[in-house]
Amino acid sequence: EDQVTQSPEALRLQEGESSSLNCSYTVSGLRGLFWYRQDPGKGPEFLFTLYSAGEEKEKERLKATLTKKESFLHITAPKPEDSATYLCAVQPLRDTPLVFGKGTRLSVIA
Amino acid sequence: DAMVIQNPRYQVTQFGKPVTLSCSQTLNHNVMYWYQQKSSQAPKLLFHYYDKDFNNEADTPDNFQSRRPNTSFCFLDIRSPGLGDAAMYLCATSSDSTSGSADTQYFGPGTRLTVL
């Protein structure tokens, strides 16, 4: 069975305190891995798509990396506005639905 | 800006009273999805359309139905809402490509359904 596991479930950081969120996966294939940000009461906002091991993508204070077993979302010098739930999802094969992790709830304290 | 739009943003209905949620998109994507998301849980796929081809997930209750009259619009009908159907309903779209790479799904803002 395809599974995506995110850790930690919740993370509390001081403003400026860099850290990483983990997304590990056991899937039948890897057509793509997605990171989304979700604010309370809103839909997920797309951040990154990663396709193959070794790939990295950056956007402002966020950097996503991918290995054969897991992905990391690195947050450098976070600000309070980075507080949100970060969702990881994998599409194993074409015509298969996304498999989501349960998310990491990030709080950044000023 | 191209986007996914959901209406209404908040919907209150009574137990057993049918409700319809709508989604429209200006991305010209051929694939549309409906997800249900309950508090602190991951989104759960209910249906998706490849163009007009309807795909129902195996565990989607019969109480839920969907319509896609054209490329831009998709509707979610809940025939007899129960208390357990209170959730955020998310619409998403993607452009199905024949390449070997996955296609990113773009989500709308969601409709929060309350069942009284």
HSE, CB side, 13 Å, CA atoms: give it for residue A20: 12
The verdict on residue B116 lying in a domain is no
The answer on pLDDT for B98 being more than 80 is no
Cβ of A102 and B105 within 8 Å? no
Q: How confident is residue B101, by pLDDT bands cut at 50, 70 and 90?
A: low
Among the partner-chain residues B88, B101, B107, the one whose CB lies closest to the CB of A32 is B101
The verdict on residue B61 lying in a domain is yes
Residue ranges of B 54-93 with Cβ closer than 8 A to chain A: 57, 88, 90, 92
Provide the residue type at A7 as one letter. S
In a mutational test of the B interface, the residue from A9, A23, A38 whose CB has the highest number of chain B CBs within 10 Å is: A38
pLDDT single digits (tens) A91-109: 988 778 899 999 999 999 9
Percent of chain B with pLDDT over 70: 93
Q: What does the buried/exposed string (b/e) look like for A8-44 if buried means 16 or more CB atoms within 10 Å of the residue's CB? A: eeebebeeeeeeebebbbebeebbbbbbbbbeeebbb
Contacts of B92 in chain A (CB under 8 A): 43
Contacts of A36 in chain B (CB under 8 A): 107
Among the partner-chain residues A34, A91, A103, the one whose CB lies closest to the CB of B42 is A103
As a whole number, mean pLDDT of residues A48-75 equals 96
- Nearest Cα neighbor of B112 from B9, B38, B29, B41 is B9
What is the least distance, in Å, from the CA of B12 to any CA of chain A?
15
Percent of chain B with pLDDT over 90: 77
pLDDT value of residue B40:
87
As a whole number, mean pLDDT of residues B21-35 equals 94
Among the partner-chain residues B102, B103, B109, the one whose CB lies closest to the CB of A42 is B109
As a whole number, mean pLDDT of residues B97-104 equals 69
The answer on pLDDT for B2 being more than 80 is no
Cβ of A51 and B102 within 8 Å? yes
Q: How confident is residue B99, by pLDDT bands cut at 50, 70 and 90?
A: low
Q: How confident is residue B100, by pLDDT bands cut at 50, 70 and 90?
A: low
pLDDT value of residue B103:
83
The answer on pLDDT for B28 being more than 70 is yes
Strand partners, B48: B33, B55
pLDDT value of residue B97:
65
pLDDT value of residue B52:
84
Contacts of B103 in chain A (CB under 8 A): 32
Contacts of B109 in chain A (CB under 8 A): 42-43
The answer on pLDDT for B16 being more than 70 is yes
Q: Which domain holds residue B32?
A: 4-110
**Cis before B8 (ω within 30):** yes
pLDDT single digits (tens) A29-59: 888 999 999 999 999 999 999 999 999 999 9
As a whole number, mean pLDDT of residues B13-40 equals 95
Q: Which domain holds residue A70?
A: 3-109
Give the H/E segment covering residue A31: none
Length of chain B: 116
E strands within A32-100? 32-38, 45-50, 56-59, 62-66, 70-75, 84-91, 99-100
Question: Tell me, what DSSP letter sits at residue B15?
Answer: T
Q: How confident is residue B95, by pLDDT bands cut at 50, 70 and 90?
A: confident
User: A36: domain CATH number?
Assistant: 2.60.40.10
Q: How many domains does chain B have?
A: 1
Among the partner-chain residues B48, B102, B109, the one whose CB lies closest to the CB of A43 is B109
Beta-sheet pairing, B19-25 with A45-50 = unpaired
Question: Chain centroid to CA A97: how far?
Answer: 17
Q: How many domains does chain A have?
A: 1
pLDDT single digits (tens) B47-72: 999 888 888 888 899 999 999 999 99
Among the partner-chain residues B45, B104, B110, the one whose CB lies closest to the CB of A34 is B104
Cβ of B41 and A102 within 8 Å? yes
The verdict on residue B96 lying in a domain is yes
User: B18: domain CATH number?
Assistant: 2.60.40.10
